[in-house]
Structure 1
Amino acid sequence: MRALLAEDDAILADALAANLQAAGFHAEVAPNGAVAEYLLTKQDWDVGIIDLGLPMVDGLTVLKRVRAAKPWMPLLILTALDGLEDRVAGLNAGADDYLTKPVDFPELEARIRAVLRRSSQPPQGTGGGAQAPMAFGQLHFDRDAHRLTVAGQPVDLSPREWLLLELLLSHPGKVVGKEQIAQAWSTDVSDSGGPSSLEVYVHRLRRKLEGAGVGIRTVRGLGYLLERQP
């Protein structure tokens, strides 16, 4: 689990990062708002912890921009500002939780894990048919909204590209055989193509996923797999 801590107090940041590491997180520190915004929007993180009083770009602005770019990312505020208006503003800006300093680390860890659990659950109250959006690298795939974004930007897919990506996302890091793909495509009559058309769709999908931090690898004789890229 990767956690980014946006905190300009170096002593506090080092202490919290060390505790996060000990709790099993890979933690990194952003010392100001500009760095925090860049890292949170351009790299893959499981959770962001943001101080409101950041230099260069304030934490509330960082929060709003990251939430707009990555609606699915768990984000917590950790700040010395404890007024009601501050809490309301932070939560309305998109924070999943709001903690005030000083904070005991066990509570911070518990809040982080609670937010992570909520983010991994399917939406409630939708008759049981809704499915949680899938995130992989900078790729966000929402089945119910039929929407794909790469690094926060919407990407249009043809019906067969959509079915192909959905199948690959359902088996991350595992080979998906050509027979599986053909079966998934068998219900789609909107696109046509001969036996060699699969390679064409894979090529198109690879181009559309550029910048997502993921790639489609060909496993000769077996099929394809979706994997993270450095």
Structure 2
Amino acid sequence: MRVLIAEDEPVLAKQIKTVLASEGLAVDIAPDGAEAQFLGETEPYDMIILDIGLPIKDGLTVLKGWRNAGIDTPVLLLTARNDWTDRVDGLDAGADDYVPKPFHMAELSARVRAMIRRKVGQSNPVFTKNDVTFDSRNNQVMVSGVPTNLTAQEVAVLSYLFHNSGRLVSRTELSQHIYQYDGDRDSNTIAVFVNRLRKKLGNDLIETVRGRGYVIKATA
């Protein structure tokens, strides 16, 4: 899953990125409103963390531009302003949630995970298929109740497929959602990760639709 952090405080932006990246998310940073608007319009993010007080273009202006352009990526506002009307303005402009500064990183990451789940219509943070269980809160994978170690790339692929259970996902889409903006998005490596997952989790979990992509079929 892929997240954009639009935050002009470099120390805070790096702290948020470090926390989210440690949880298996691909994270990009935009230091101002102009870059945030460009990335939000051109990159397929699963959610966006947007500071209201950005330079060049403020966060509310950027948000309104996205919504007017039909971009419905979930947005979590960060605000250091105490006036409740600013938060109302943000929600009315199309934000999905907000967190006032200062905040606890654990709360922020929990809100990020919840927003990503809501985007794809998943309410339960724990995904189960056959004898495989994936807990998106800590990226723990269990097979028949036994913990299984996966690489960061394998977790990223598995997480995206589980979050999109029941929907066919192409290699290109997977590569767009597991790598950062400046990452090496080689869609051919996706097949390698899927094959590794099958060896560790069983051949029946991830199905291949030849020439189109992969799917974890939703549990009835």
TM-score per shorter chain, which class? 0.5 to 0.7
Residues in 1 aligned to 2:107 and 2:34: alpha-carbon distance in whole angstroms: 28
1:173 aligns with 2:147: no
Per the alignment, residue 32 of structure 2 pairs with: 32
- 1:225, CA displacement in angstroms? 2.1
- Distance in 1 (alpha carbons) for counterparts of 2:210 and 2:112: 38
Residue 84 of structure 1 and its aligned partner are, at CA, apart by 1.1
Q: Which residue identity lines up with residue 94 of structure 2 in the other structure?
A: G
Match of 1:182 in 2: none
Tell me the SS of whatever aligns to 1:50.
strand
**Structure 1 counterpart SS, 2:169:** coil
Given that residues 66 and 72 in structure 2 are in contact (C-alpha distance below 8 angstroms), is that contact kept between their aligned partners in structure 1? no
1:86-110 Cα shifts (integer Å, max 9, x gaps):
0100000000001111110110011
TM-score by length of structure 2 reads 0.56
Residue in structure 2 matched with residue 147 of structure 1 by the alignment: none
**Aligned positions of 1:1-230 closer than 5 A:** 1-121=1-121, 170-173=167-170, 224-225=211-212
Deviations 1:148-179 (A, max 9, x none): xxxxxxxxxxxxxxxxxxxxx953338xxxxx
Question: 1:142 is matched with which residue?
Answer: none
CA contact (8 A) 1:50 1:75 kept: yes
Q: Which has the higher contact order (CA 8 A, sep 6+)?
A: 2
Q: For the residues of structure 2 that align with 1:106 and 1:170, how far apart are their CA atoms? A: 30
SS at the partner of 1:34?
A: helix
Q: How far, CA to CA, are the matches of 1:74 and 1:63 in structure 2?
A: 10
Q: Secondary structure at the match of 1:57?
A: coil
- After superposition, the C-alpha distances for 1:51-103 in whole angstroms (9 at most, x for unaligned) are 01000011001111122334431111012013110010000000000111111
Q: Which moved more, 1:64-73 or 1:90-99?
A: 64-73
Q: Tell me whether 36-45 or 108-117 shows the greater mean CA deviation.
A: 108-117
Residue-pair matches, total: 135
- Unpaired runs of 5+ residues, structure 1, are 123-168, 175-221
Distance 1:111 1:67 in 2: 21
The verdict on how the C-alpha distance between 1:70 and 1:26 changes in structure 2, with shifts beyond 3 A counting, is farther
| Range that drifts further, 51-60 or 112-121 | 112-121
Distance 2:45 2:35 in 1: 14
SS at match of 1:108: helix
SS at match of 1:90: helix
Contact 1:72 1:119 in 2 (8 A): no
1:148 matched residue in structure 2: none
State the alpha-carbon separation in 2 of the partners of residues 22 and 224 from structure 1. Answer: 33
TM norm structure 1: 0.54
Unaligned runs of 5+ in 2: 123-165, 172-208, 215-220
The answer to whether the 8 A contact 1:4-1:49 is kept is yes
**1:78 partner SS:** strand
Paired-residue identity, %: 43
Kindly state the Cα deviation for residue 224 of structure 1 after the two structures are TM-superposed. Answer: 4.6
**How far apart are the structure 2 equivalents of 1:26 and 1:170?**
21
